[in-house]
Structure 1
Amino acid sequence: MGKVFEDYFSELQTELVAISLEFVNHVADEIYIYGSYEPDAYYFNVFYKVQGTILLKHKLNEVSTEFFYDVSKERQMALQRIGTEILEEIHKRCNEFNRDMPTEIKLLYNIKNNTLQAKYNYDVVYSHDDALLPNNVFKTWFDEVTEEKSNQK
């Protein structure tokens, strides 16, 4: 029996988690993965929770740990390139199986518990607004999570 759409979709989400996990060498508490697609534009980015602090990927070394993260520009760009390629593959599979491509994919991976939560959006988020860019939407999500986590303390 051949693979069904859900198999491909699940595998590709797992790949997004794997590359994001590899970026921090498995040293983090949670990973927040953002992917978007709106006509002819893909966007991928990620942020992390490390020792209770929510951090953008380029600021991972601002939390004191015994671990040093390689957050070089080259490594960040490689992460984003690979993440974007995975989003393109998701889109390809959506087309192949006559499924709608989500305009937004938000994944929360809890490393300790090995759990994945996913939220999908199929509505236009930013392409209808000339002043709004996908990075603005990503940053808004980062700010929301940061505020939510600080209110939980």
Structure 2
Amino acid sequence: MKEFESRFSELQADIISICMEYVGGRADKVYVYASCEEGMISSSFYYLINNKYVECHKVNDALRDGDERYDASPERQFMVLNIINEDIEKIAELCKAQDHEMPTEMKLIYNAMSGKFQADYKYNLVHTNDDVKTADDFADEWFEGIKTSNL
């Protein structure tokens, strides 16, 4: 049991780590939405930088005058998303091997200022049961909710 929790935590830490690497460690908070339903994996990542909530492709919009720009190229975004998705696959394999239920939805929040990490998991089908919304829609709605509640 301990081994499972340790490995599960390690993989989540790797997800946060690659997101922090993307911004050179210069973010106040990192938000990651991950979905794994019926063999389909999807993820999105967002930030709070200089009191501005931004999507990963808009991180430079949060910079102050004189701040060094981020490399927010599509190649780097896809690199981060690929690593997140690989980690989610590893979590799924870990859950299966250890006979644990795999979360269908993971919402991760890392506060770089305090070092606090929050995770929220769902185990029921989310977007698969929705005729209209995709995993990306749920991710964007979650991030919009974060912006309005200042999480």
The TM-score with structure 1 as length reference comes to 0.93
Aligned match of 2:18:
19
Aligned match of 1:39:
38
Q: Which amino acid aligns with 2:101?
A: D
The 5 A counterparts of 1:49-88 are 49-65=48-64, 66-88=67-89
**Rounded Cα–Cα distance in structure 1 between residues aligned with 2:37 and 2:68:** 37
Aligned match of 2:5:
6
The 5 A counterparts of 1:52-131 are 52-65=51-64, 66-131=67-132
User: Cα offset for 1:132?
Assistant: 1.3
**Rounded Cα–Cα distance in structure 2 between residues aligned with 1:49 and 1:83:** 19
Aligned match of 1:30:
29
Aligned residue for 1:4, secondary structure, equals helix
User: Cα offset for 1:147?
Assistant: 1.2
Higher mean alpha-carbon deviation, 116-125 vs 60-69, is at 60-69
| Structure 1: gaps (5+ residues) | none
**Rounded Cα–Cα distance in structure 2 between residues aligned with 1:123 and 1:27:** 35
- Percent identical among aligned pairs is 33
Aligned match of 2:47:
48
**Rounded Cα–Cα distance in structure 2 between residues aligned with 1:63 and 1:26:** 14
Post-superposition CA distance 1:96-143 (Å, at most 9, x none) = 000000011111100011110111111111101231100000000111
**Rounded Cα–Cα distance in structure 2 between residues aligned with 1:39 and 1:63:** 36
**Rounded Cα–Cα distance in structure 2 between residues aligned with 1:41 and 1:138:** 15
Aligned residue for 1:37, secondary structure, equals strand
Post-superposition CA distance 1:1-53 (Å, at most 9, x none) = x9621011011011011101101110010000111100010011100000111
Post-superposition CA distance 1:55-97 (Å, at most 9, x none) = 0000111123312111101000111111100000000000000
Q: Which amino acid aligns with 1:34?
A: Y
Deviation beyond 6 Å, 4+ runs, structure 1:
none
| Structure 2: gaps (5+ residues) | none
Q: Is the 8 A contact 2:49 2:63 kept in 1?
A: no
Aligned residue for 2:7, secondary structure, equals helix
The TM-score with structure 2 as length reference comes to 0.95
